[in-house]
Amino acid sequence: MVIVQMVAEGVSWRMIPAYLTPVLLTAYLYVKRKNIKPRKWYVLTIQTVLLTVYLAITIIPPIVMPVFSFEKPTGNHSVGTVSYHWTDKKRKETFGIDPEAKRELMVQVWYPANEESEKRTNQYMRDVPEKEEGMAQLMGLPDFMMSHLGLVRVHSFSEGILSDRQERYPVLIFSHGNAGNRNQNTFQIEELASRGYIVVGIDHTYNAGATVFPDGRTMKYSTKDE
């Protein structure tokens, strides 16, 4: 079962107690064979309590930090997505430390796509190491506790061909809240795209938990000018 989980879902810190279970059971079996004396009631009680505690430790992390799945969009369209790195050369960046820097944004677009262009679906959260660090710091948690988000997949796929069922599509803009990110409402955005909307999501640089540019630069949340 451990091997199946590793292959199907991927290795995760949440499953470490479960990964240790075969080792502990093997060790216990070896010790038990060496000691065939009848166990007293209080020994059985202690073992039962310890086993219960261990089982709780094993199942709590996956329950609290699940690798969740999104419901399949109910619209008639497949969902494509594409990301852009935009720089406004006429606008200065007021939140950064470089006075000569220009305003940069990461923008992601979700849209109705032709089924013929479907490929493998995307990860829910791209640039997970950088974004998990920003999210964890804002919530006061260790960085690794957000790493399971990298295992979550969505129903949209990259750079599909825009559906030709309509000549024009209505456009919506998704703006995340303070310290959020453009992916946080993916379940709603994909549903809208499947129903014939183009949705544009923006990581507001320095106001998002973390904004990662194609060259690897990461701009974390800033409280400047608040």
Whole-prediction pTM? 0.73
Cross-strand bridge partners of residue 107: 84, 202
pLDDT tens, the chain, 226 aa long: 778 877 776 777 778 888 888 888 788 777 766 666 666 778 778 888 888 888 888 888 878 777 788 899 999 999 999 999 999 999 999 988 888 999 999 999 999 998 876 677 787 776 656 666 666 666 666 666 666 777 788 999 987 899 999 999 999 999 998 888 898 899 999 999 999 999 999 999 999 988 999 998 889 888 765 5
Are residues 114 and 164 in contact, defined by beta-carbon separation less than 8 angstroms? yes
198-203 sheet: strands from edge to edge: 121-123, 153-158, 78-92, 102-113, 198-203, 171-175
